[in-house]
Copies of this chain bind each other. A is one copy, B any other.
Amino acid sequence: MKKQFWTSILGLALATLSLSSNAVSQEVPELTLQQAEQLREQALESTLALDITASLTTEVGARLPGTDADKKAVEWGMAKLQSLGFDKVWKEPVSIPVWLRLHESAEVIAPFPQNLIISALGGSVSTPKNGLEAEIIHFDSIEALESSADGSANNKIVYISKRMEKHSSGRGYGDAGPARFRGAASAAKKGAIGLVIRSIGTDSQRSPHTGVTSYEDGVTKIPAAALSNPDADQLDRILAHNKTTTMRLNIQTEVLPDATTYNVIGEITGSERPDEIVAIGGHLDSWDQGTGAVDDASGIGITVAAAKLIAQQQRPKRTIRVVMFGAEEIGVFGGKQYALDHADELAKHIIGAESDGGAGKVLALSSSVSHESLHVVDEMLKLMAPLGVVRSSAKATGSADFGPMVRAGMPAVGLVQDFTPYFDIHHTPDDTFDKIVPEELAQNVAAWVIFVKLAADWPGRFN
């Protein structure tokens, strides 16, 4: 016990030494810490993020890239930032493909005729006008499909039944997601003429989960759709009868000529280092069947509200830039375009973070910063501790839209949210405003104001 005691004391002393050595070089000003704490408390009381989220989801609703609603979303974003008094508001064009869902239906023909509810996967080609009818071949996972014999799915509809597991980390998405990401291409390589997958989602509602599927050059493009989880359960029960099971699939989609959407950008100009940018944001677009409330109106609401609350207290020393990215859902078009457009500004991006994990509570803070600046992250964590936020050992990626900037060298943090509720409604018709828990959304803003305030007012660099 004595030995342990002295080891602890020694550890503490070393830790203190290490902290001070950083702190001496580039300390976070005490006033900044006090202001951040005050902002945290204000954020917990504020309904600004909720109001912004309600406004986007109600006044615009669903906003698939390239549609009229997408144009309205851009107008909404410009007007919202202007009305909130951002110093500069502008938009930057992003060229995008336009894919539209026109019709989707599925039915079991034999042995037990009945309708099933599906959602065409984003980018799916159409079936023939009257649909296609074929025998189902069932695989437990995409790995089972990919390791099956050549021609195993010839002229059949492949069905992949793997169920996404529910974890607060959302890691089930990585396990089950590939059935959607590359399932259509993998099935076509085995001769299939169609693909249906169990939705990549953790709910038991008849709201199927859409999302992009990718085709491969040189591989036949086959129509692809997701069954809702209850419908996949039903198909599993039907298949358990071990009778030849046939399905009719009718998916009608349309690809329009490429169009232009926009990244909408607003800035609060910094008082001391206006050329240095703390970049935050979310994505403005959404899938077409819900109103994109948790994906990602809430991310827009959280980050816009955080910037506004900070500006209301005192002009930040660095510039806070909020980016409402365009066309994330269909392939991170806005995020990639932003990195291209701002390549020469990379060094000015002191740090960045996107909110694109829904409206669940922030559970942890990840980072991708230099060792020398980690103590600022420590200060953020101290202030976030009352919110229940702990350190994440994962490296911050910048999320989808700031990913290209982070890969190019921009430092980042990640405010890692609870994914437990998120994947129940992600990419479904049920991603609607009523699913947002106001207190959890406010907790997000409280965590974000701490990160943004410290990053904006601390004089050092994160790389």
Q: CA separation between A272 and B54, bound complex, in Å?
A: 68
Q: CA separation between A69 and B113, bound complex, in Å?
A: 8
Identify the stretch in A58-66, A166-174, A184-192, A357-365 within 8 Å (CB) of chain B at 4 or more residues: A58-66
> If A205-B205, A230-B434, A434-B230 touch, does A58 touch B237 (CB 8 Å cutoff)?
yes
Q: CA separation between A58 and B69, bound complex, in Å?
A: 39
Using a CB-CB cutoff of 8 Å, which residues 178-236 of chain A contact chain B? 204-207, 229-230, 233-234
Contact yes or no, B434 A233, CB < 8 A? yes
Identify the stretch in A347-355, A368-376, A401-409, A425-433 within 8 Å (CB) of chain B at 4 or more residues: A425-433
Which residues of B lie under 8 Å from residue A115 when comparing CB positions?
61-62
Residue on B nearest A238 in the bound complex, by CB: B58
Contact yes or no, A114 B233, CB < 8 A? no
Contact yes or no, A234 B59, CB < 8 A? no
Using a CB-CB cutoff of 8 Å, which residues 131-185 of chain A contact chain B? none
> If A61-B114, A112-B58 touch, does A206 touch B429 (CB 8 Å cutoff)?
yes
A253 at the interface (CB under 8 A from B): no
A298 at the interface (CB under 8 A from B): no
Q: Separation in Å of the A244 CB from the closest CB of chain B?
A: 15
A291 at the interface (CB under 8 A from B): yes
Residue on B nearest A231 in the bound complex, by CB: B432
The copy count of this chain in the complex is 2
Contact yes or no, A206 B432, CB < 8 A? yes
Number of interface residues of A (CB under 8 A): 33
Contact yes or no, B62 A432, CB < 8 A? no
Q: Separation in Å of the A445 CB from the closest CB of chain B?
A: 21
Residue on B nearest A203 in the bound complex, by CB: B205
Q: Separation in Å of the A42 CB from the closest CB of chain B?
A: 25
Q: Mark A60-91, 1 if CB is under 8 A from B, else 0.
A: 11100000110000000000000000000000
| The residue from B114, B207, B290 contacting A62, defined by CB atoms under 8 A apart | B114
Q: For A204, A291, A429, which residue has the most chain B Cβ atoms within 10 angstroms?
A: A429
Contact yes or no, B206 A117, CB < 8 A? no
Which residues of B lie under 8 Å from residue A62 when comparing CB positions?
114-115
> If A112-B58, A114-B62, A238-B58 touch, does A204 touch B435 (CB 8 Å cutoff)?
yes
Which residues of B lie under 8 Å from residue A114 when comparing CB positions?
60-62, 69, 291
Q: Separation in Å of the A409 CB from the closest CB of chain B?
A: 41
> If A54-B237, A433-B234 touch, does A112 touch B59 (CB 8 Å cutoff)?
yes
Which residues of B lie under 8 Å from residue A229 when comparing CB positions?
434
Q: CA separation between A130 and B241, bound complex, in Å?
A: 43
Residue on B nearest A60 in the bound complex, by CB: B112
Q: Separation in Å of the A108 CB from the closest CB of chain B?
A: 8
Contact yes or no, A205 B207, CB < 8 A? yes
Contact yes or no, A234 B112, CB < 8 A? no
Which residues of B lie under 8 Å from residue A57 when comparing CB positions?
234
Which residues of B lie under 8 Å from residue A430 when comparing CB positions?
205-206, 230
Which residues of B lie under 8 Å from residue A435 when comparing CB positions?
204, 230
Q: Separation in Å of the A231 CB from the closest CB of chain B?
A: 8
Q: CA separation between A204 and B434, bound complex, in Å?
A: 7
Q: CA separation between A348 and B117, bound complex, in Å?
A: 46
Which residues of B lie under 8 Å from residue A54 when comparing CB positions?
237
Which residues of B lie under 8 Å from residue A230 when comparing CB positions?
430, 432-435
Residue on B nearest A68 in the bound complex, by CB: B113
Q: CA separation between A290 and B432, bound complex, in Å?
A: 22
Q: Separation in Å of the A423 CB from the closest CB of chain B?
A: 15
Contact yes or no, A58 B205, CB < 8 A? no
Closest 3 CB pairs of A and B: A61-B114, A230-B432, A58-B237
> Interface on A for B, CB 8 Å cutoff?
54, 57-62, 68-69, 112-115, 117, 204-207, 229-230, 233-234, 237-238, 241, 290-291, 429-430, 432-435
Other A-B pairs, 14, CB within 8 Å; known A60-B114, A234-B433: A58-B238, A60-B112, A61-B115, A62-B115, A68-B113, A69-B113, A69-B114, A204-B435, A205-B430, A206-B207, A206-B290, A233-B434, A234-B432, A237-B433
Q: List 14 A-B contacts (CB under 8 A).
A: A54-B237, A57-B234, A58-B112, A58-B234, A60-B112, A61-B115, A69-B113, A206-B207, A206-B429, A230-B430, A234-B291, A234-B432, A234-B433, A237-B433
